[in-house]
Amino acid sequence: MLAEFLQEALDRFAQFFIAPLFTEDATERELNAVHSENQKNLQTDAWREFQLIKSLSRDDHVFHKFGTGNLRTLKDEPAAKGINIRDQLLAFHKAYYSAGTMKLAIIGKESLDQLQQWAVEYFSPIVDLAIEPISFASGLGGGMPFGPEQVMRRVDFVPVKDLRQVELAFPAPSMRHHVNSKPLRYWSHLIGHEGKGSILSYLKEKGSCLSLSLSALFIRSSLVAD
């Protein structure tokens, strides 16, 4: 039973945040993994579209940057500038890995008292830097990524697959402080409803749509190909 090794696993897991090694070999493997994933995404429409949307945001916003990475952006170019990636990882950890910005949940067969004791024992060494969580509003992102000059646009792009979609995107305030009420769930239910009298049923009757959905990022409609 794996459950009997929970205490040992917690000890090891906590060390990721207390004293990460960031060894040269592990850093190199991760760079290669990110590069491989990016190569896979080059012919994936969802990732291509996401990068297109990022490029349409404010030039001075962190959201505007390259969304993933490859060996050129993460290894070759930094090396040419004398930047050591491992040192950058360690510096980021030192600046932003703070107990006050983290949350921990432990699920086990042990009593709540025992689980709490392990949480205190193994995770208390994580330093609290007394910093605010990273967010667009905190200054790292410089506010909302889409301002007045970035909205009211129509963009056409050619997908890799044989797809016909219409997507409508509307900038909205952050919902992180409304996690208990989840107001976007109401929009998702009303627009994504597929029953009689719904938007989707109407569009299907017109032969204009196969599916319709709404997420925190986009309202998406997949249209019937001509």
CB 64 within 8 A of CB 54: yes
Same domain, 13 and 117: yes
What residues have CB less than 8 Å from 11, skipping those under 6 apart? 122
Range of the domain at 194: 164-222
| Domain finish residue from 123, 152, 184 | 123
CATH number for the domain that contains residue 18: 3.30.830.10
**CA nearest neighbour of 192 among 218, 164, 169:** 218
In a domain, 153, yes or no: no
pLDDT mean across residues, the chain: 87
The one-letter amino acid at 212? L
Same domain, 15 and 114: yes
In a domain, 129, yes or no: no
Query: How far apart are the two ends of the chain, measured CA to CA in Å?
Result: 56
Same domain, 71 and 183: no
Distances (CA, A) of 113 to 5, 108, 152: 18, 11, 55
Residue 220, classed as helix, strand or coil, is strand
Looking at the chain, which runs of residues are DSSP E strands? 165-168, 211-214, 219-222
Helices marked H in 23-180: 24-41, 45-55, 71, 77-80, 85-96, 112-123
Same domain, 116 and 168: no
Band (pLDDT 50/70/90 cuts) for residue 136 is low
In a domain, 159, yes or no: no
The pTM assigned to this predicted structure is 0.73
Separation of alpha carbons 31 and 36, rounded Å = 9
Same domain, 106 and 174: no
Same domain, 117 and 172: no
In a domain, 147, yes or no: no
Band (pLDDT 50/70/90 cuts) for residue 9 is very high
Task: Give the up-direction half-sphere exposure of residue 144: CA atoms within 13 A in the CB hemisphere.
Answer: 12
* Range scoring the smallest mean pLDDT among 62-71, 129-138, 157-166: 129-138
pLDDT tens digits, 73-124: 999 999 999 999 999 999 999 999 999 999 999 999 999 999 999 999 999 9
Residue 167, classed as helix, strand or coil, is strand
In a domain, 47, yes or no: yes
Higher pLDDT, 43 or 212: 43
For 139, the enclosing helix (H) or strand (E) is: none
| Domain finish residue from 123, 155, 185 | 123
pLDDT for residue 15 is more than 90: yes
**CA nearest neighbour of 31 among 85, 83, 84:** 85
CB 69 within 8 A of CB 34: yes
Band (pLDDT 50/70/90 cuts) for residue 3 is confident
Number of structural domains (the chain) is 2
| Domain finish residue from 123, 153, 186 | 123
